[in-house]
Amino acid sequence: MTRVVLSIGSNLGDRLAHLRSVVAALGPRVTAVSSVYSTPPWGGVPQQDYLNAVLVAEDPALEPSDWLRLGQELEQAAGRVREVRWGARTLDVDVVWAERRRRDVRVVVRSLDPVLTLPHPQAHNRAFVLVPWLEVDPDAELAVAGAARSLREWLSALDSDEVAGVRRTELTLGWTP
């Protein structure tokens, strides 16, 4: 079985509908959904704010590369166009972290493949990923360059203004456990 943490975001079109489309498409595979957060754009390209959330999902038949493919299919269905790195987008689905479970053994997936690097190489630097992830998995740890730290520790290392810019909204993704 593979368990993944997916970071989803949108800042073009009906942002909330784009995020909800991911939850709907994954259906019963979704095991946790964060609140929806409004966040400033990351990466230095001028654009409007994003709506972001984090999902946790499981499927015994999917490998991390399958989750990536599925995320890209959902992006395409939402009309995602890749023109500018870190530019505006209708939908962004990132596989942030993955683990495989075999019987009672849990193994965090590590990959240096440039197509799917795991854990996501910038997750520890992005408050818009860490804040909602912490909400759905308060005990989560993230290893970067061999150093595992709690999400709270990674957040405390970020600029306080960046963390404060991740604002919880009253919007929901329509998921109930």
Asked if residue 175 belongs to a domain, the reply is no
In the chain, the number of structural domains is 1
Residues 6+ positions from 25 with CB-CB distance below 8 Å:
70, 74
Cα distance between residue 174 and residue 177, in whole Å:
10
Range of the domain at 91: 2-168
pLDDT digits (tens, 9 = 90+) for 15-36: 999 999 999 999 999 999 999 9
Asked if residue 27 belongs to a domain, the reply is yes
Asked if residue 47 belongs to a domain, the reply is yes
Asked if residue 115 belongs to a domain, the reply is yes
Contact 33, 5 (CB under 8 A): no
Contact 169, 35 (CB under 8 A): yes
pTM beyond 0.75: yes
| Dihedral pair phi/psi, residue 154, rounded to 5° | -65, -40
Asked if residue 21 belongs to a domain, the reply is yes
Query: What's residue 47's pLDDT?
Result: 83
pLDDT digits (tens, 9 = 90+) for 35-86: 999 999 877 777 899 999 999 999 999 999 999 999 999 999 987 776 767 6
Cα distance between residue 71 and residue 4, in whole Å:
12
Asked if residue 174 belongs to a domain, the reply is no
Long-range contacts of 15-20 (CB under 8 A, 24+ apart): 15/50, 15/51, 16/51, 16/171, 16/173, 18/78, 18/90, 18/91, 19/51, 19/53, 19/91, 19/173, 20/173, 20/174
Is the bond preceding residue 119 a cis peptide, omega within 30 degrees? yes
Query: What's residue 86's pLDDT?
Result: 67
Asked if residue 173 belongs to a domain, the reply is no
161: CATH = 3.30.70.560
Asked if residue 177 belongs to a domain, the reply is no
